[in-house]
Chains A and B, each alone.
Chain A
Amino acid sequence: AQSVTQPDIHITVSEGASLELRCNYSYGATPYLFWYVQSPGQGLQLLLKYFSGDTLVQGIKGFEAEFKRSQSSFNLRKPSVHWSDAAEYFCAVGVHEGRNQFYFGTGTSLTVIP
């Protein structure tokens, strides 16, 4: 069965430090890959997505993610975290197997300390 794994439930970083959030997927072919962010009390917002081409994709708010086929990973990174980045981050995949299916990871909660 297809799945999306975010191994880190919660991460704490200092403001200005770099960030990497991990995401692994289980699927036979390359799925379409997404990162969403959810601020408290809000719905999810797309940060970036990958479906082909350059394996390093740039998103909004200074985020980027790298697709590594050999590791079935799509990790999210940011070189310098801002306090406003504190939120819940979800990795998601879209696959087409007869019909479209969508899977979200369990999320990683990010705390930023001053």
Chain B
Amino acid sequence: DARVTQTPRDKVTEMGQEVTMRCQPILGHNTVFWYRQTMMQGLELLAYFRNRAPLDDSGMPKDRFSAEMPDATLATLKIQPSEPRDSAVYFCASGLAGARDEQFFGPGTRLTVL
């Protein structure tokens, strides 16, 4: 049963610390998405990649957030330095390249920045 995996599932850190979240997309999927979910803003698209290249990162605060795909089996989202307002659940999703294709979501990383 192919699934998107995310690590860690929960992260508590202090303001100013670096946070790295990891995602393993489903094998064969060439598109990876990063979302942030909060009560106030709902589900926000931060960035997405196709074939490991960033296609859209307009939703991501550039000064502190960065997203990469070092290889086809790993996507990372990094926050440096972290701030309390970054507290949220971060979801990774993977899929195929088309606008008509389903996205498969991971279980999320719950980030709390104190």
Question: Which residues of A does B touch, CB under 8 Å?
Answer: 31-32, 34, 36, 41-46, 49, 51, 90, 94-96, 99-102, 104-107
A sample of 9 cross-chain residue pairs with beta-carbon separation below 8 angstroms, ordered by A number, consists of A43-B108, A44-B93, A51-B100, A94-B100, A94-B101, A100-B97, A104-B42, A104-B43, A105-B42
> CA–CA, A107 to B4, complex, Å?
22
Within the assembled complex, what's the spacing in Å between the Cα atoms of A104 and B42?
A: 9
Distance of A35 Cα from B58 Cα, bound (Å):
24
Residues of B within 8 A of A90 (CB): 43
Beta-carbon nearest neighbor of A102 in chain B = B45
User: A34 touches which one: B48, B102, B107, B108 (CB < 8 A)?
Assistant: B102
Closest Cβ–Cβ distance, residue B10 to chain A (whole Å) = 11
Contact B100 A107 (CB under 8 A): no
B56–A43 contact, CB under 8 A?
A: no
Partner of A42, one of B45, B98, B99, B107: B107
CB pair A44 B91 closer than 8 Å: yes
Which residues, 81 to 113 on B, are CB-close (under 8 Å) to A? 91, 93, 97-108
Assess whether A96 is in contact with B99, with CB atoms less than 8 Å apart: yes
Instruction: With A44-B91, A90-B43, A102-B45 as known contacts, state yes or no: A32 contacts B99, CB within 8 Å.
Output: yes
Residue pair B100, A32 in contact (C-beta under 8 Å): yes
User: Would you call B105 and A107 a contact (CB within 8 A)?
Assistant: no
List chain A residues, Cβ under 8 A from B91. Answer: 43-44
